[in-house]
Amino acid sequence: MNRADYLLLLEQELAGLQPHARQEVLDYFQEYFEEKGDDQKAIQDLGKPREAAQEIMANLPSDELISENPLESGPVFQATAKEPFNWKKLFHDSSTKTSEINVQTVEAQLPDFRQLKLKLESMSLIVQVGQLEKAQLRYQMNPEETGVTLDYQLEGDCLVLKTSLDSDRILETQSEDSYAILSLPQRLLPLTNLSLTLSDSKLTIRNLDLVDLFCLDLSDSSLTLSQLQVQEECFLKMKDGQLSVTKLETKKLDLIGDDVQANFSQSNCDQLRTSLSDCQINFNRCQLATGDLDLTDCVGVLEQLQLANRLNCQADDCVLSIQLAEPFNLELEAEDSVLHLPKEMMDLLNLDEEPVILDYSVADCPSKLTLRCNDCRVTLA
């Protein structure tokens, strides 16, 4: 395992952290490697990625974690001064409680392809761009354990990579020391299509240029997307999982989810559509042209959102906190709901009416927010 592999695995294991906290952790670990000068010694000192991530999340303040019970979450837009976290104190004695990782590395050269289809079960996989002539699949595995296999085949111009119970190519164990990395040469990009079907898996996709991305079925899994260019459509269908998206650029994003924790940061989307139930969804410093949100029994947080045109939100039994980066027009209809609005908006409300209706306009403002809320708690900033 080298430094890059370690940091990628650590990023996967930190899916339960808020995006800004996760980045702070990764920055610290990167600095630790640079100061140490010896990657293998640094890895021994820090311990296995999973153990390091578990210790970090056990010691960080609760507001740095993604809530496991989103409907019980408190107010969102509250900034409090606090001391910087002492990373060195957390890891000063880690070298005494970790042992050397006993693993083997296996590599396979893959044929060229234009489309990629992943069908994974109980797997940990990272997809990234590498300085290679051919696509490469690389494993780190514990030879003392048995596990599942990963098979690949070329169907036309589509590479299909899937877990299987019998394959004589490459063995992937289910231990925490084992993972796989798929590295693609830059010349294969953009891929015309990336299709995902995941069950009980962890998948990280970084620095890819795609025409379309389709997550057709993701259950009980963790998906991390970082620095992706999706030229046309990004379709994600998820159940019982975690989604972490950083620096995604796409024309169209469709998100369908049930019991999902979804975090978007520093991303840009022309058209957003969601249909979510029992979910927690956070948008932080994102740019959006148009959007249609359908939320049921959800916590929705839109912080520092740059809205170019319109955002329509239909919410039922939800907790919503919305903070747009610039002034906006508002059309609000709320029934059986608690509203926390700026004073200039509250002064226009007739609270004796049911449902409560508000039409708030800002001169020369192109962006409009439309809210239809039933049995919700809504905070606008």
Q: What is the pLDDT along the chain (381 residues), one digit of tens a residue?
A: 778 778 878 887 887 777 777 888 888 888 888 888 888 888 888 888 888 888 887 777 666 665 544 434 433 333 333 455 555 555 554 444 444 444 556 778 899 999 999 999 888 889 999 888 899 988 766 545 545 667 889 999 999 998 875 444 444 444 455 678 899 999 999 999 999 999 988 999 999 999 999 988 899 999 999 999 999 999 999 999 999 999 999 999 999 999 999 999 999 999 999 999 999 999 999 999 999 999 999 999 999 999 999 999 999 999 999 998 888 999 999 999 988 888 888 877 766 677 888 888 888 899 999 999 999 999 988
Q: Is residue 241 part of a domain?
A: no
Distance CA 291, CA 208 (A): 24
Contact between 333 and 313 under an 8 Å Cβ cutoff? The reply is no
Residue 50 lies in a domain: yes
Host domain of residue 46? 1-59
Per-residue DSSP letter, 69: S
Q: Are 258 and 239 in contact (CB under 8 A)?
A: yes
For residues 189 and 183, give the distance between their C-alpha atoms in angstroms, rounded to a whole number: 12
Give the residue among 173, 181, 172 at the shortest CA–CA distance from 4: 181
**What residues contact 226, with CB distance under 8 A and at least 6 apart?**
11, 204, 205, 206, 207, 245, 246, 247
Whole-angstrom Cα distance, residue 92 to residue 61? 19
- As a whole number of angstroms, the distance between CA 342 and CA 331 comes to 14
* pLDDT of the residue at 52: 84
Residue 62's pLDDT is 67
Measured distance CA(330)–CA(341) in Å, rounded: 11
Check residue 108 and report its DSSP letter: E
Q: Considering all CA atoms of the chain, what is the largest pairwise distance in Å, rounded to the nearest integer?
A: 72
Q: Is residue 38 part of a domain?
A: yes
Phi, psi of 231, rounded to the nearest 5 degrees: -70, -30
pLDDT for res 79: 33
As a whole number of angstroms, the distance between CA 36 and CA 220 comes to: 37
User: How many structural domains is the chain composed of?
Assistant: 1
Q: What is the pLDDT of residue 89?
A: 57
Binning the chain into helix, strand and coil, the percentages to the nearest 5 are 20, 50, 30
Residue 186 lies in a domain: no
Q: Which residues pair with 147 in a beta bridge?
A: 173
- Which phi and psi (to 5°) does residue 31 adopt? -65, -35
Specify if 274 maps to a domain. Answer: no
- Residue 210 is encoded by which pair of tokens? 């795609």
Token digits of residue 218: 């993701």
- Cα separation, 235 vs 213, in Å, equals 6
Give domain status of residue 10, yes or no.
Answer: yes
* Residue 3 included in any domain: yes
Which tokens go with 162? 């899937």
* Residue 33 is assigned to a structural domain of this protein: yes
DSSP conformational letter for 53 = H
Residue 54's CB is within 10 A of a number of other CB atoms, namely 15
- pLDDT for the residue 28: 85
**CA-CA distance, 19 to 23, in Å (whole number)?**
6
